[in-house]
Amino acid sequence: MPTRVPPIQEFPKDDRIWRIDWLGVVEQTSSEALIDVYLSPAKANVGVPQRQEDFEQVGERARVGVGQLPFLTVGSLWRDRHRLPRGVGVGKVFPDVQIASSAVQLIEAGAQFEVGPDEPRWVIPPYKHRLDWRVRQSHCFAIEYGGDPYGILLPVVEAIRFYYAVSTDLAHIAFAGGFQLDLDSIVDTSEFFGIVPGTERMVLKRRKWLSDDDGWIIGRVLEEPLAAAGIARVYDSLLRDSANSRLAFPECGLPFEGATRWRVRGIPLRIKDGERWLIYELLSCSALLPFRELHILSDNDGRQAEDAEHDLPDNEKRPAWSGPRRVGKVDPDTEMQSAEPPEFDIGQVVIPLASERFEDIAGKEIIKTPKEHCRYKSAELRRPQGLAALGTGLASGSPSAIAPLSAQWRQQEPNQRRQGLPTSFEALQAVVGALNASGGVSAHVRPSTPRLEYLPLTKPRSRRQWGYLDSEHKIKRQVMIVDIDCSGTCGSLIEFERRKDERSRAALLISSDTVSLSDERLWYLLHALVKAEGVWANLKPRPIDVELVLFNHSRTSAEAFAADICKALR
């Protein structure tokens, strides 16, 4: 799941913990399709709820745009509209799942089966996972496993989210039937696309509004008939049900057949002869894609030339595309909402979602043709714009101060940042949760911006330098910043990616003011850190109005780390 999730305006804000129980009906609107999200609150005095009995029976329904689907998983926990780092369910690896028409059936989530004469039982027992009566007709894949035809239960919407709606843009394509109705808006169909004869290389020219990593999904759909039929079924099923005045629960097909290894988060459903599993969230899949390499071309490619000395001067370049006139100033508490469309003249806000989704492409880089020079330049953003909210719908020309939001998936290396607290951004999310559980303390991950997403470079891009995590492949070090307010004292906890053989300390920068450090100030401090090659103690010049507190990565729990941070702030 993403490192940074904006709060969702349609979710409850009452200081209680809420769980996403299920996702239901989809309704098409002029801006974007809306999907029903069912939530139930945790009972009073329950710390981190984990069992069905921890939740109240009466919940709520929220309706949000499908562009937010990459953020929405069953079992995820939310408080005051913010997603918490921990969710309900346990990790599980299924080493040999067989996907075949004979082993997979589409059933209703509220289905029953007969275990004896006049003895029906729920496929999903209510005492293990309660479903609102309004979603009992929604769909699940029942997959045979261990001899049980219902051995694995996978909600169809989760299959859509994992395999097709990996980003906001691809979610819109899936629910609007983009591959069936307007393929040319996805790839340039006037030029060659497909697998190069005699090779295993997929080539496509994506449209500029899509990201490079979307190409893995686009290529799979274009080359694998099962994937093409699977994503087409999303829109076709909604169109069919709407035309017949039925509740439109989306359907899809799985994009492959054969054996796969799934890593999931879910819950076991005990039965007489063993157990079956209800999957809340798919985490990774080992099924092969129909190509081994991906070569991406893009409209109005604005990448810099490989050799900057031979690049064209800026005054000879054309704008890559007409840009917005304002850039949104995103506050950490700026909420996503689905009631109003975003404003066209405000620049898009991008939220990166790093995950180990497909094992088959782990370690692979997208091929991009080297450039002798660049004919395009980015359009200039004129002035900052304070935002009222974020929106994933179709942008409108009406003024609203709502910025377009796009969640973009990025493939993450297996086991990257999973070695424990010292290098794990996910573990730092757990520290955020522990901080928020402390009295008088609020903490949140600062939203990603182009200047603060990675450590800055101090040398030309072509040079080897400490700012790169991998100089050979030009991979920059990602940064995570946690802003903390402890009874009026503000601090920013900073962590950055490290190489395997490196040692470093986390830094807490305590502001002398009553507000957190600005993005500009943090950028200058990070620039000085890169010059000091990651050693905070060697920072030059040392800031005189910021207290620097360093922490070794020796604590065994997020709670212990949070306690030490609070002690430093108080």
Kindly list the strands in the beta sheet with 194-195, ordered across the sheet, starting from the edge strand earlier in the chain.
194-195, 201-206, 293-298
State the residue range of the domain holding 38: 17-87
Position 444 in a domain: yes
Longest alpha-carbon distance in the chain = 81
Interval 78-87: pLDDT, tens? 999 999 877 8
Domain count, the chain: 2
| Residues 542/548, Cβ–Cβ less than 8 Å | yes
How many other β-carbons are positioned within 10 Å of the β-carbon of residue 56?
14
Give pLDDT, residue 441: 84
Q: How far apart are the first and last CA of the chain?
A: 32
Give pLDDT, residue 150: 93
HEC readout, 137-201: CCEEEEEEECCEEEEEEEEHHHHHHHHCCCCHHHHHHHHHCHHHHCHHHCECCCCCCEECCCCCE
Pairwise CA distance, residues 514 & 47, whole Å: 30
Boundary residue ending a domain (87, 107, 122): 87
Rounded to two decimals, the pTM is 0.72
Give pLDDT, residue 254: 98
Give pLDDT, residue 225: 97
Boundary residue ending a domain (87, 102, 130): 87
Nearest to 446 by CA among 516, 347, 543, 545: 516
Position 50 in a domain: yes
Pairwise CA distance, residues 553 & 570, whole Å: 21
Boundary residue ending a domain (36, 55, 87): 87
Residue 118 DSSP label: T
Position 75 in a domain: yes
Position 83 in a domain: yes
Position 427 in a domain: yes
Position 114 in a domain: no
Q: List, in sequence order, every residue forming a beta bridge with 82; answer none if it has no partner.
A: 79
Position 105 in a domain: no
Pairwise CA distance, residues 353 & 78, whole Å: 18
* Low-confidence residues in the chain, pLDDT < 70: 1-3, 114-119, 299-325, 370-383, 413-426, 448-450, 473
Position 302 in a domain: no
